[in-house]
Structure 1
C-alpha cells in the first residue's frame, strides 16, 4: 500500500474515532441537562460539553453549541452563552439552520437571561437575517424546480379529443434542474403547510423518464409538519435508500407528516402523497408506470394503506415492519391482487408480531398474491437503524427495477367501503348498495392474532404475551367488483354495488369497434368508444399521468 494512502486511511480512522468520542461526551452532557434539578447539575452538564469542545474541536456540532448556550444562559454566564451562540451562527453548511434556536417561539424563554443584554438584539437580528436568507433561497429553489413547459401544456388549440390524447402521450419537454436536492413547501390546508424533500439522481436528464419512490416516515403521533427539510433526511435511517437509489437512478421523495395529517389515520392527510406526486410530475420527468411507495412502521402501514385504498398511481409497495391493517375502515385484502407488496419483518417486533405475519403469509399464498415477506431473526422494530439491514435494500431496488404498472390489466378486483376510494385502474365503484345481500364470492377475510411480542431493549430479551385480537376491522358495509375484458367484451360481477363506471383506453380495446359490457350476466352497454375531449382533459388534470389517459367512460346503474 502506498504511504499517502496509509496516511489518508489513518486520518479517516482518527476522524471517525474522534466523532464517536465527541458524540459520547455530548450525549452524556445532554442527559445530564435533561435530568438537572439545580444549578450544580446544569454546571456538570456544561462542564462535559466544554470538555467535548476542547478535546474534539473538529467534531463540534450545532446541537452541542445550542445546548451549551442555553445552559450558560440559565447559569447567567452571559459571555459564554454569547460566545457559543456566535460560534453556532458561524457554522458554514448547506444544512445550516442554526438560526432556528434564536428565532423559535421558545427562544425568549430559553435565553431569558440574555434579553436585557444589548448583545441580544444584535445576535437575534443576525439570526433573523440568516433565516430570511434561508427561506428566500428555499423559495427561489422551489420556483426553479417547478418552472417548466409542462405547466403551459394547454389544449384550446386541439380541435378533437384524439388530438388532446396525442398531445398528452407525446409530451416530453421538461427542463433541466440546477440542483440535485430540493425542499418543496406543500399546502395541506389554507392555513397549514408541510414539505417534501426531492432527491434527484446525479446528472438528471430531463429527456429521460425516471422511477420515483416515496418514503413514508413512521412515528406519525410524535411528528409535526415542517415547512422545510434538508439533506440530513438522506442520512441516518435513510442512508441505504440514498445509496441504492443513487446506484439505480431512482428519484427519492421524503414527505413530512404529523399526527393529524399523515398516510395512515385519520383520513385527513391521505390525499397528500397523490397530490405531491401530481405536483412533482409537472416539474420533472417521471415514468408514470414506475412510481413506488415504501416506509417504516407507521410509514409502512401507510404504504400498505395506499395498496388497499388508492393504488392507481403506483406500481409497487414496500415496507419495513408493517402493521398490515387499515385504520380508517375495512382491510380488503384481495385488493392486493392488482399490485404487489414487499414486506420486511422481524421476529422481535412489538408493532406486528411474527405469528401475525405468518398468518397473513398463508392468506396471501392462498390468494396467489404477488406478496413477499422477508423475515429477519433477532432484530427489533427499528431494524433499519442497524447496518445489518443493508442487504435488504439491493433486493428492494432489484424488485423495483423489474416492476411496471399495468393499469390496463385484463382482470381486476376492487372492494371499498368508501366510494372516495372506489377507483382501481379502469373500474370505479360510484355508489354502494347497503340493502341487498352480498354475493357468495364477496367475503370478509380475517384471522386471529394470539400473541404479542415485547422487546426488552435493556436486557436484549424477547417475551410474548397471549392475546385475542382480530387482525382487521370491518366497521362499514363494503361493495366489491370483479371483472375482465378481451376483444372489446367486458364481463363484470358486482356485490353490494349500485352504480359503477368503466374507463376506456385505446390500449385496451379496438376503438373502431363497439365495446360490449355485461354486468352480472346482463348486457348493459354496446357502443363504440369515443375520444371524449372534456373527459380526457378533466381526468388528466386530476393526475397529470401521461401513460394512463382515459378517452371514454361507461356509466352503469344497477
Structure 2
C-alpha cells in the first residue's frame, strides 16, 4: 500500500513539475513575442508575430495583460546624446537627435519632451551632426528623454510628412526605451511653436500637453506657407496649452495672438498664456519661466481614456481620430462628433458624420453586458460586443501604447 502511494505521489509530482515548466516556458515565449512585437515595424514580420501571439494566448484577457505589461526593456541601450535618421516609405530622410539620461534605468518609465526648432525655411539637413550647432545639448536632463527632430523647407512641422514623422519617431523610441506614454509633451519655438499648434489642432492623441512659444496659429491658415488648414477649436478641448509670446515680437507680437487667446477663453480651452513685457522674438525669458513650465507638465499627464471626447474633421484619410473616437465618413464637411461614455452607455452628438468608430477598452466597459449607443438621442446599438485578439493587436501595433489598448471596435452609422 505504501509502495503504491509512493508511486502515485511520485507521478503526481512529476506531472505537476512538467505542468509548471510548460507554463513557465509558455510565459517566457509570450514575453519574447511581446518584445518582438514592440520592436518590429508594422510590416509583414509584425503580422507574423501577431499571428503567434494570437495562437499562444489563451484568451483576449491574457493577451491584453501581456500588452499592458509591455516589453522587457534592456539596460544596454545607448544613452547621452544620440543622432538617428528615420527613413519614410517614400525615401525621405528625417534626422533627429535624442538625449537619454546617462543613468537610464529600464525599469523606470521616463517622460518624453519633443522640442520643435524654428527657422524651417532652410535647406534639408545634412547627416553627421552639422545641424546640431544650435546648442540643444543643454536640454539634456536626468529625469526625461528629450527629442529634437528636424524640419526644413520640404518638411515644415505642419506638413503631412511631419504629421507622420513625429509619431513614428516616438514609436521608434518606445521600442527601445521605457517611455511614460502619458507624459509625452510637444514644445516648439517660433515655427516650432506654430508646429505645436498644428499637432494640437490636428493630431493630439499621443501628446499630454502642448507648449507653443513665440509662434502663431494663424500661420496654419495661410495657403502658401501654412497649408491652408481650417482650425477647429473644439479639437483643443482635451489637451492643455502653455503659450508664451513677446509683447514686442517683430514677427508675432502678443497683440496679434490675442484674438486667438480670446477664443480659447470663450470656448473653455484649458490654457495658460504668458505675455513677456517688451519681449522680442527670443526665449530670453525661459530661465525665469522654467519652474512654472515644469509644474504645468507635472500637473497635466495625459488621460488616454477620458469619458468625454470630441473631434471635428474635414477629411477621413488623416486627422480624423482623437484617442478612442474616429470619424470614418462624412455627409458634409466638416464633421463633428461629441461622445460621452458612462459605463456601457455612449451618448453621441453627430453633425455631418455618417460613419464613425468607437474603440473599447475592457477596463472602461463591461463586455458581459450590452453596449448601448445613442446618436442624437436615438438608440442605434444595443448588443453584447465580443472582444477580439486581432482588434487588440491591430490598434496596439499602431499606437504602441500600454495606457491605450482596445479589445473591440464598434463601427457605426448615424443615418446621415
Q: Contact 1:172/1:207 (CA < 8 Å) preserved in 2?
A: no
**Cα offset, 1:274, TM superposition:** 0.6
Give ranges in structure 1 of 5+ residues lacking alignment.
1-147, 435-476
Q: Does 1:403 align with 2:300?
A: yes
Q: How does 1:330-345 map to 2 (within 5 A)?
A: 330-345=230-245
Distance 1:356 1:336 in 2: 20
Q: Does 1:423 align with 2:321?
A: yes
**Cα offset, 1:369, TM superposition:** 1.3
Q: How does 1:109-508 map to 2 (within 5 A)?
A: 150-151=38-39, 155=53, 156-176=55-75, 177-229=77-129, 232=132, 236=135, 238=136, 241-242=139-140, 245-246=141-142, 249-264=143-158, 266-325=159-218, 326=220, 327-328=226-227, 329-381=229-281, 383-384=282-283, 386=284, 388-419=285-316, 420-434=318-332, 477-508=333-364
SS state of the match for residue 545, structure 1?
Answer: coil
Distance 1:524 1:403 in 2: 35
Distance 1:215 1:206 in 2: 23
**Cα offset, 1:427, TM superposition:** 1.0
Q: Which structure carries more relative contact order (alpha carbon 8 Å, separation 6+)?
A: 2
SS state of the match for residue 380, structure 1?
Answer: coil
SS state of the match for residue 413, structure 1?
Answer: strand
* Bigger helix fraction: 1
RMSD: 2.0
Distance 2:177 2:131 in 1: 19
Number of positions where the alignment pairs a residue of Structure 1 with one of Structure 2: 359
**Cα offset, 1:504, TM superposition:** 0.6
TM (norm. structure 2) is 0.81
Q: Work out which of the two has the higher radius of gyration on C-alpha atoms and give 1 or 2.
A: 1
SS state of the match for residue 338, structure 1?
Answer: coil
CA pair 398-240 structure 1, distance change in 2 beyond 3 A: farther
* 1:352-374: CA deviation from partner (whole Å, max 9, x where unpaired): 23223222222212222111111
Q: Contact 2:193/2:214 (CA < 8 Å) preserved in 1?
A: yes
Distance 1:415 1:302 in 2: 19
Distance 2:391 2:126 in 1: 36
Q: Contact 2:79/2:101 (CA < 8 Å) preserved in 1?
A: no
Distance 2:115 2:208 in 1: 14
CA pair 212-277 structure 1, distance change in 2 beyond 3 A: same
Distance 2:238 2:138 in 1: 28
Match of 1:526 among 378, 382, 389: 382
224-233 or 213-222, larger mean C-alpha shift: 224-233
Q: Contact 1:185/1:196 (CA < 8 Å) preserved in 2?
A: yes
CA pair 259-227 structure 1, distance change in 2 beyond 3 A: same
**Cα offset, 1:404, TM superposition:** 1.2
**Cα offset, 1:240, TM superposition:** 5.9
CA pair 540-228 structure 1, distance change in 2 beyond 3 A: farther
CA pair 318-185 structure 1, distance change in 2 beyond 3 A: same
SS state of the match for residue 395, structure 1?
Answer: helix
**Cα offset, 1:239, TM superposition:** 6.2
**Cα offset, 1:189, TM superposition:** 4.2
**Cα offset, 1:485, TM superposition:** 1.2
**Cα offset, 1:230, TM superposition:** 7.2
Distance 2:123 2:294 in 1: 28
TM (norm. structure 1) is 0.61
CA pair 408-191 structure 1, distance change in 2 beyond 3 A: closer
Q: Does 1:538 align with 2:373?
A: no
Distance 1:240 1:529 in 2: 51
Distance 2:213 2:385 in 1: 43
**Cα offset, 1:185, TM superposition:** 1.5
* 1:391-426: CA deviation from partner (whole Å, max 9, x where unpaired): 122222221122211121111221011221111011
**Cα offset, 1:232, TM superposition:** 4.4
**Cα offset, 1:555, TM superposition:** 0.7
